[in-house]
A and B are shown apart, each in its own frame.
Chain A
Amino acid sequence: MSMSMPAARRGKPKIRPPRKNHNASKLSFEEHYRYAYNMVLFKHGDQLYTGVKQLVAEHLDSLAEERIVPAFPRSSGTHGAGKLGGGAEAVERAMEGDRFLKAVKGVWEDHTGSMRKLKDVLRYMIYEVGLTLFLTHIIRSPRHPIHTHLIATLLSQVQLERDGETITRSTVRECVDVLLRLTDDRDGKNVYLSDFEPEFLRRSGEFYRLEASEMLESGDAGLYLRNPILHMPGTGLAPMLDADRIADLRRLYVLFLRVPDDAGRLALRLALRGDIEERGKEINEGTKDEPGPSQNGEPGMDVDEDVKGKGKAKASGGATALASALRWVQDVLDLKDKFDRAFQSFINANPRAPEFLSLFIDEHLKKGTKADEIDAALEKTIVLFRFLADKDKFERYYKNHLAKRLLYARSASDDAEKGMVAKLKVEIGRRLTWQGSLGTADVKIRFKARSHDVNMSTHALVVLLLFDDDKDGEGLSYTDIKASTDMPDPELQRTLQSLALGKYRILQKAPKGRDVNPTDTFTFNDSFTCPLARFKIMQVVARVESAKEREETQEMVDEERRHQVEACIVRVMKNRKTMGHNELISEVAHQLSSRFNPSMALIKKRIEGLIDYLERTADIGTYRYLA
C-alpha cells in the first residue's frame, strides 16, 4: 500500500546539519518534514533520532567552545558572602559576569530556537532530548568548567547588587529561568533546585545576618525592616509563630510600627496572611492522600466554618478517613487558636473598635442590600464581635444606631434587624433594649405659595416652632436657638443643617456656607416652593461620633461598668461570705470578662466604695460580707 505513495520512490534521505544561525528561511519546511515523515514511516526512526541527537550535541559543543568559553570571567571562584572589593573592581566584575551570563543566555536562546524548529519538523521526539542535551553539553559540560562558572557568576552578580552595584537583572533572571527549565533525567530533580538553590540560600542567609548586624549597629530600624526580614529562613516571622516566641513577636511588631506611613504594618500583615495561608495549605495537604472528599481550607475567619464542613464530610467518609479527619480538625483548631489570640489583641488594641463594628452593621442594615448579602456580612461581624473585649461598649453604640435606624425608618428589613438582635443575644445572653428619644412629627407649614405637609424629626420641629414667634422676619441667631432649645451643639448643628442646607430648605442661613457656625443667623424661608404636597425632611445623620460625643459615650459606658462591677462584687461576696482580696478581684474580673475586661484599679475602687457592706477581717486582705 505504501508503495503507491510518491514519496516512497525516494531514496533514503540524508540527515542535514541543524539549522545554524537561524537561516531557516532558506530551508523548506515541507522538504524536511517529508523526509522525516518517510523515514519514520519506513522504520528508520531510530536512525533519524540518534543522528539528530548526535548532530545537536556536536553543535552544542562547538557553541560552548566558540561562545561561552571565551566569555568566562577572569575570577569567579566561590567567595564567601563577604563584600566583594569596591569601586572600579566591582564594576568590572559586574560587567564580566554580565557578559558571561549573556553568552550562556545567547546559546540557550539559539538552542531553544533551533529545537523549536526541529520540534515542528520532527514533532514529538526531540524537544525533551534537546533540553537534556543542553544540560549535559553546556551546563554540565565535561569539557569546560561552565557549571562552576555559571553558579559562581550568578551568585556574585546577586552579591554585587546587594553591595549597591548595578547589574542587568534581566540577564540574571533569564539565566535562572534556564536552570529552572532544565530537569535532570537521572534523578528527576530540577537543576535549579539541586545545583543553585542550596548554595544561594546559604549565601543569602549569610548576607542577611551580616546586613542585620550592620544595620542594627547603625541604628536605622526603618531601613533594616524594609529588607525582607520577615522571610529570613530560620529567623523570620513563621518560625517565631511556630515557637510561640511572643516576646520576639512583640519586638518585631514594635519595630514595624516605627516604619513611617504604615508600610511596616502593611508588610507585617501581608507576611502574616501569607503565613496563615501557607499553614492552611500544609494542613490540607497532609490529609489530601487520604480517601474521602477533599476541601480547601481558607485562611482567617472562614476557618471555623470549614471545620464544621470538613468534620461532617469526613465523618461519612469511612473509618480510615476518620483518623485523618480528626487530625485535620485538630490541626485547624490549633492554627485558629494561635491566630485568634493575635486577632483578639489587635482588635482590642483599637479603642474605637466597638464603635466601628456597630457602624459597620448599621451601614449594612441600612443599605437595602440583598438579604443573603446582609446575612453573610452580619455573620462575619459576629465572628469579630466574639473577639471584642468591651462588649458593653458595643452594646451602647449598637442600641443607639438601632434606635436611629428604626425611628428614621431606614432599616433594610425588620427580619434582618430581628435576626441580628437574636444573634447578639446568643453571643451575650442578654436582652438588648432600645430607647426612643428620637421621633418624627408631621406638620402643616404655610408658605407664601401654598402649604405643605412636612414630616421632620422632633428636634427639627422644636427648632422650627421657634420661628413661629418670629413674626417680623428678622431671623434668629444660632445662640438664640441654642438658648431656647437647650440642645447640645452637634445635635443642633445637624438639625439646622437638615432644615437649611438639605434638599428642602425651609430655613435660610446667613452667611451662606456648607457648615453651621455659632455666628450664623437663620430666617424662615417664606418663598419656599415645592411641587410635592407632602415631603420629608431627612435628618442629617451623624456618621462617626465627634470627639465630644465619644467622650460622653465613654462616660456612660464607665458609669454602667461601675454599677456592674459593684453588683458583681456583691453577688460574689453574698455567695462566699468571706474572701481574700486578690481572690475577689480575680473572681470579679472573671465573671465580668464575658462583657468587658475590668481593670484592677476599677475593681479595687468599687470595693472601696462598697466598704460599708464589706468588713475587713483581722486577717489582712480578707473581706467579710455584711448582710
Chain B
Amino acid sequence: MSEEPDFVLLESADGYTFVVERRIACASGMLKSMLDEEAAFEEAKNKTCRIQQRGVVLLKVIEYLAYKVQYADFNTEDITEDFSDRIDPYIALELLTAADFLDT
C-alpha cells in the first residue's frame, strides 16, 4: 500500500455518504472483496459502496472498523477502551445483523 491515504465512499440506504480510508473499510471482509480491484466490480471501479443499512448503523460500523484497525497490533490486555460502551442499545440488533452481513 502506498503512503498516500486512499479514500472510498460508503453510502447508506437513507442517503448518507461517509468518506472512509480504504485501509479502514477493508477491515470488513465483505467490503474488502467488494473493493478488490482485481475482481473489478462496479463498486471497486467507482470506489463507492452502497450499503443497505441506515446511516446511524453504518456510522457505528465504520466507527468499529476504525477501532479494530487502531488496536489490530495490540495485546488484548493492553486495550482499556471497551467498544460496547459506545453502542446505543436501540440500534444493537440492527448493528448485529449489519456486522454479520459485512463480515466485520
Contacts and interface: CB of A to CB of B under 8 A. Distances in A.
Nearest to A26: B42
Interface centre among B36, B94, B101 (most CB of A within 10 A): B101
B14 to A, nearest CB: 11
Contacts of A1: 93
B30 to A, nearest CB: 6
A26 to B, nearest CB: 6
B91 to A, nearest CB: 12
Interface in A13-35: 22, 24-30, 33-34
Interface in B1-56: 13, 30, 33-34, 36, 38-45, 49-52
A116 interface: yes
Contacts of B38: 116
Interface in A401-418: none
A81 to B, nearest CB: 41
Interface stretch (A4-12, A143-151, A511-519): A4-12
B34 A24 contact: no
Contacts of A470: none
Contact of B43 (A22, A29, A37): A29
A265 interface: no
A4 B43 contact: no
Q: Determine the main DSSP class of A at the interface with B.
A: helix
B96 to A, nearest CB: 10
A244 interface: no
Nearest to A117: B39
B52 A34 contact: yes
Contacts of B42: 24-29
Given A6-B13, A24-B41, A120-B39, A29 B34 contact: yes
Given A30-B34, A37-B101, A7 B52 contact: yes
A34 B51 CA distance: 10
A29 B41 contact: yes
Q: On chain B, which size bracket covers the interface?
A: 20 to 34
B40 A22 contact: yes
Nearest to A38: B101
B41 to A, nearest CB: 4
Contact of B51 (A4, A25, A30, A116): A30
B47 to A, nearest CB: 12
Indicate the member of B33, B49, B50 with the most A CB atoms within 10 Å.
B33
Contacts of B94: 4
Nearest to A7: B52
Contacts of B49: 29-30
Most chain B CB inside 10 Å of its own CB: which residue of A7, A22, A28: A28
B52 to A, nearest CB: 6
Interface in A442-475: none
A337 B93 CA distance: 73
Contacts of A34: 52, 101
B103 to A, nearest CB: 9
Given A25-B45, A33-B30, A120 B36 contact: yes
A29 B102 CA distance: 12
B40 A25 contact: yes
Contacts of B50: 28, 30
B40 A24 contact: yes
A117 B41 contact: yes
A1 B92 CA distance: 13
Contacts of A121: 33
B39 A6 contact: no
A33 B97 contact: no
Nearest to A114: B39
Interface in B65-98: 93-94, 97
Contacts of A120: 33-34, 36, 39, 41
B52 A30 contact: yes
Nearest to B38: A116
A49 to B, nearest CB: 19
A4 B41 contact: no
Given A24-B42, A33-B34, 20 more contacts: A5-B97, A6-B13, A7-B52, A24-B39, A25-B40, A25-B44, A26-B42, A27-B41, A28-B41, A29-B33, A29-B39, A29-B41, A29-B43, A29-B49, A30-B51, A34-B52, A117-B39, A117-B41, A120-B33, A120-B36
Interface of B: 13, 30, 33-34, 36, 38-45, 49-52, 93-94, 97, 101
The 6 closest A-B pairs by CB, nearest first: A120-B33, A29-B41, A29-B34, A25-B45, A117-B39, A29-B43
17 contacts: A6-B52, A24-B41, A24-B42, A25-B42, A25-B45, A27-B42, A28-B41, A28-B42, A29-B34, A29-B41, A29-B43, A30-B43, A33-B30, A34-B52, A116-B38, A120-B33, A121-B33
